[in-house]
Protein backbone atom coordinates (compact mmCIF):
# COMPACT_ATOMS: atom_id res chain seq x y z
CA UNK A 1 0.00 0.00 0.00
CA UNK A 2 2.86 2.38 0.77
CA UNK A 3 4.41 1.78 -2.67
CA UNK A 4 1.06 2.39 -4.42
CA UNK A 5 0.48 5.70 -2.68
CA UNK A 6 4.08 6.72 -3.39
CA UNK A 7 3.69 5.98 -7.12
CA UNK A 8 0.40 7.93 -7.22
CA UNK A 9 2.05 10.95 -5.59
CA UNK A 10 4.92 10.79 -8.07
CA UNK A 11 2.51 10.70 -11.01
CA UNK A 12 0.63 13.70 -9.64
CA UNK A 13 3.85 15.67 -9.23
CA UNK A 14 5.11 14.90 -12.75
CA UNK A 15 1.73 15.44 -14.43
CA UNK A 16 1.43 18.93 -12.96
CA UNK A 17 4.73 20.05 -14.44
CA UNK A 18 3.97 18.99 -17.98
CA UNK A 19 2.67 21.60 -20.36
CA UNK A 20 -0.79 20.96 -21.75
CA UNK A 21 -0.81 19.76 -25.35
CA UNK A 22 -2.34 22.30 -27.73
CA UNK A 23 -4.06 21.07 -30.94
CA UNK A 24 -2.22 21.89 -34.16
CA UNK A 25 -4.89 24.29 -35.44
CA UNK A 26 -4.82 26.29 -32.21
CA UNK A 27 -1.04 26.72 -31.99
CA UNK A 28 0.77 29.93 -32.80
CA UNK A 29 4.11 30.48 -34.48
CA UNK A 30 5.95 28.41 -31.85
CA UNK A 31 4.76 25.60 -29.60
CA UNK A 32 4.58 27.20 -26.17
CA UNK A 33 4.05 30.86 -27.09
CA UNK A 34 0.72 32.60 -27.60
CA UNK A 35 2.14 34.74 -30.41
CA UNK A 36 0.47 33.96 -33.72
CA UNK A 37 -2.61 32.37 -32.18
CA UNK A 38 -6.06 33.28 -33.44
CA UNK A 39 -8.41 34.55 -30.75
CA UNK A 40 -12.10 35.33 -30.54
CA UNK A 41 -12.91 38.39 -32.67
CA UNK A 42 -14.85 41.51 -31.68
CA UNK A 43 -18.45 41.84 -32.79
CA UNK A 44 -19.14 41.40 -36.54
CA UNK A 45 -15.53 40.67 -37.55
CA UNK A 46 -13.90 37.47 -38.74
CA UNK A 47 -10.74 37.08 -36.71
CA UNK A 48 -7.93 38.45 -34.60
CA UNK A 49 -4.30 37.35 -34.21
CA UNK A 50 -1.96 37.87 -31.27
CA UNK A 51 1.23 39.41 -32.65
CA UNK A 52 3.07 39.93 -29.37
CA UNK A 53 2.48 38.93 -25.76
CA UNK A 54 5.16 39.68 -23.18
CA UNK A 55 5.83 40.94 -19.67
CA UNK A 56 7.57 44.31 -19.37
CA UNK A 57 9.06 45.96 -16.29
CA UNK A 58 9.79 49.51 -15.22
CA UNK A 59 11.00 51.05 -11.97
CA UNK A 60 8.80 53.39 -9.94
CA UNK A 61 9.66 55.50 -6.93
CA UNK A 62 6.67 54.30 -4.92
CA UNK A 63 6.32 50.59 -5.81
CA UNK A 64 9.81 49.67 -7.05
CA UNK A 65 9.96 47.26 -9.96
CA UNK A 66 6.53 47.18 -11.61
CA UNK A 67 5.49 44.41 -14.04
CA UNK A 68 2.96 44.87 -16.83
CA UNK A 69 1.49 42.41 -19.32
CA UNK A 70 1.75 43.85 -22.84
CA UNK A 71 -0.36 42.43 -25.69
CA UNK A 72 -0.29 43.50 -29.37
CA UNK A 73 -3.26 42.32 -31.47
CA UNK A 74 -4.37 42.83 -35.08
CA UNK A 75 -7.96 42.33 -36.22
CA UNK A 76 -9.92 42.63 -39.47
CA UNK A 77 -12.73 41.27 -41.61
CA UNK A 78 -10.49 39.89 -44.44
CA UNK A 79 -12.17 42.32 -46.86
CA UNK A 80 -10.24 45.58 -46.64
CA UNK A 81 -10.94 46.46 -43.01
CA UNK A 82 -8.20 46.20 -40.39
CA UNK A 83 -6.83 47.64 -37.18
CA UNK A 84 -4.39 46.96 -34.38
CA UNK A 85 -4.06 47.81 -30.70
CA UNK A 86 -1.48 47.61 -27.92
CA UNK A 87 -2.88 46.99 -24.44
CA UNK A 88 -1.03 46.91 -21.13
CA UNK A 89 -2.25 46.03 -17.68
CA UNK A 90 -0.56 45.17 -14.35
CA UNK A 91 0.67 41.59 -14.28
CA UNK A 92 -1.00 41.01 -10.91
CA UNK A 93 -4.44 41.96 -12.27
CA UNK A 94 -6.24 38.64 -12.77
CA UNK A 95 -9.75 40.10 -13.05
CA UNK A 96 -9.63 40.84 -16.79
CA UNK A 97 -8.14 39.10 -19.82
CA UNK A 98 -5.60 41.42 -21.50
CA UNK A 99 -5.91 39.58 -24.83
CA UNK A 100 -9.66 40.09 -25.07
CA UNK A 101 -9.37 43.72 -24.00
CA UNK A 102 -6.72 44.27 -26.69
CA UNK A 103 -9.04 42.68 -29.28
CA UNK A 104 -11.91 44.95 -28.23
CA UNK A 105 -9.62 47.98 -28.40
CA UNK A 106 -8.45 47.01 -31.90
CA UNK A 107 -12.09 46.60 -32.98
CA UNK A 108 -12.70 50.26 -32.13
CA UNK A 109 -9.76 51.40 -34.27
CA UNK A 110 -10.62 49.76 -37.57
CA UNK A 111 -9.72 51.60 -40.75
CA UNK A 112 -10.36 50.96 -44.45
CA UNK A 113 -7.33 49.76 -46.43
CA UNK A 114 -7.52 50.32 -50.22
CA UNK A 115 -6.66 47.19 -52.25
CA UNK A 116 -6.02 46.78 -55.96
CA UNK A 117 -8.44 44.21 -57.42
CA UNK A 118 -9.24 43.17 -53.85
CA UNK A 119 -5.99 41.19 -53.50
CA UNK A 120 -2.86 43.41 -53.41
CA UNK A 121 -1.59 46.96 -52.88
CA UNK A 122 -2.08 49.71 -55.48
CA UNK A 123 1.63 50.32 -56.08
CA UNK A 124 5.13 49.68 -54.75
CA UNK A 125 5.96 51.91 -51.79
CA UNK A 126 8.47 52.52 -49.02
CA UNK A 127 7.51 53.21 -45.43
CA UNK A 128 9.32 53.50 -42.13
CA UNK A 129 8.74 53.94 -38.41
CA UNK A 130 11.64 54.50 -36.05
CA UNK A 131 14.55 52.28 -37.11
CA UNK A 132 12.32 49.95 -39.17
CA UNK A 133 12.27 50.32 -42.96
CA UNK A 134 9.76 48.40 -45.07
CA UNK A 135 9.76 47.96 -48.86
CA UNK A 136 6.44 46.74 -50.29
CA UNK A 137 5.99 45.42 -53.84
CA UNK A 138 2.80 44.74 -55.77
CA UNK A 139 2.61 41.19 -57.16
CA UNK A 140 0.48 39.38 -59.80
CA UNK A 141 -2.31 36.91 -58.95
CA UNK A 142 -1.12 33.61 -57.51
CA UNK A 143 2.14 34.96 -56.08
CA UNK A 144 1.03 34.67 -52.46
CA UNK A 145 2.30 36.49 -49.37
CA UNK A 146 6.11 36.59 -49.10
CA UNK A 147 6.81 38.55 -45.94
CA UNK A 148 7.74 38.44 -42.25
CA UNK A 149 5.26 36.46 -40.17
CA UNK A 150 3.96 39.63 -38.49
CA UNK A 151 3.29 41.28 -41.87
CA UNK A 152 1.76 38.02 -43.14
CA UNK A 153 -0.67 37.96 -40.21
CA UNK A 154 -1.71 41.55 -40.94
CA UNK A 155 -2.27 40.74 -44.63
CA UNK A 156 -4.42 37.73 -43.71
CA UNK A 157 -6.69 39.80 -41.47
CA UNK A 158 -7.02 42.61 -44.03
CA UNK A 159 -7.49 40.37 -47.08
CA UNK A 160 -4.26 40.99 -49.03
CA UNK A 161 -3.32 37.84 -50.96
CA UNK A 162 -0.43 38.77 -53.30
CA UNK A 163 2.42 40.87 -51.92
CA UNK A 164 6.18 40.90 -51.34
CA UNK A 165 7.56 42.75 -48.30
CA UNK A 166 11.22 43.26 -47.40
CA UNK A 167 12.27 44.65 -44.02
CA UNK A 168 15.50 46.44 -43.18
CA UNK A 169 16.73 47.65 -39.81
CA UNK A 170 14.93 46.88 -36.58
CA UNK A 171 12.61 43.86 -36.39
CA UNK A 172 10.67 45.34 -33.47
CA UNK A 173 7.11 44.01 -33.82
CA UNK A 174 5.40 47.24 -32.78
CA UNK A 175 7.48 49.32 -35.21
CA UNK A 176 6.78 46.85 -38.03
CA UNK A 177 3.02 46.98 -37.47
CA UNK A 178 2.93 50.78 -37.27
CA UNK A 179 5.12 51.25 -40.34
CA UNK A 180 3.11 48.80 -42.45
CA UNK A 181 -0.24 50.35 -41.52
CA UNK A 182 1.11 53.85 -42.25
CA UNK A 183 2.20 52.71 -45.71
CA UNK A 184 -1.11 50.98 -46.45
CA UNK A 185 -3.19 54.00 -45.43
CA UNK A 186 -1.05 56.50 -47.37
CA UNK A 187 -0.94 54.55 -50.65
CA UNK A 188 -2.55 56.29 -53.62
CA UNK A 189 -5.38 55.29 -55.91
CA UNK A 190 -5.22 53.99 -59.50
CA UNK A 191 -4.70 57.48 -60.99
CA UNK A 192 -1.54 58.24 -59.03
CA UNK A 193 0.22 54.89 -58.53
CA UNK A 194 2.26 54.80 -61.84
CA UNK A 195 4.02 58.12 -61.07
CA UNK A 196 4.68 57.14 -57.48
CA UNK A 197 6.10 53.81 -58.60
CA UNK A 198 8.67 55.50 -60.86
CA UNK A 199 9.71 57.93 -58.12
CA UNK A 200 10.66 55.16 -55.66
Beta strands at 163-169 and 145-146: parallel, antiparallel or unpaired: parallel
- Do 106 and 151 belong together in one domain? no
Structural domain contains residue 107: yes
**What is the tens place of the pLDDT at every residue in 107-152?**
899 999 999 999 999 999 999 999 999 999 999 999 999 999 999 9
Specify the CATH number for the domain of residue 171: 3.30.230.10
Predicted TM-score (pTM) of this structure: 0.78
- Do 54 and 28 belong together in one domain? yes
- Do 106 and 161 belong together in one domain? no
118 contact partners, CB below 8 Å, separation of at least 6: 79, 80, 159
- Give residue 159's domain range: 125-199
Q: What is the DSSP letter of 187?
A: -
**What is the tens place of the pLDDT at every residue in 37-71?**
887 766 554 688 999 999 999 898 888 998 999 99
Q: What is the DSSP letter of 42?
A: -
Q: How far apart are CA 71 and CA 86, in angstroms?
A: 6
Q: CB–CB of 196/183 below 8 Å?
A: no
Amino acid sequence: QYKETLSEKRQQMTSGRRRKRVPALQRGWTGGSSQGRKVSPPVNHDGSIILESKFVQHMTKLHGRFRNHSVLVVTGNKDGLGGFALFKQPAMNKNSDPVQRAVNKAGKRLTFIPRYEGRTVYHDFFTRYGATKIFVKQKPPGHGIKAHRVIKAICETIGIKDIYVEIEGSRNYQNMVKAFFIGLIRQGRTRTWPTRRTCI
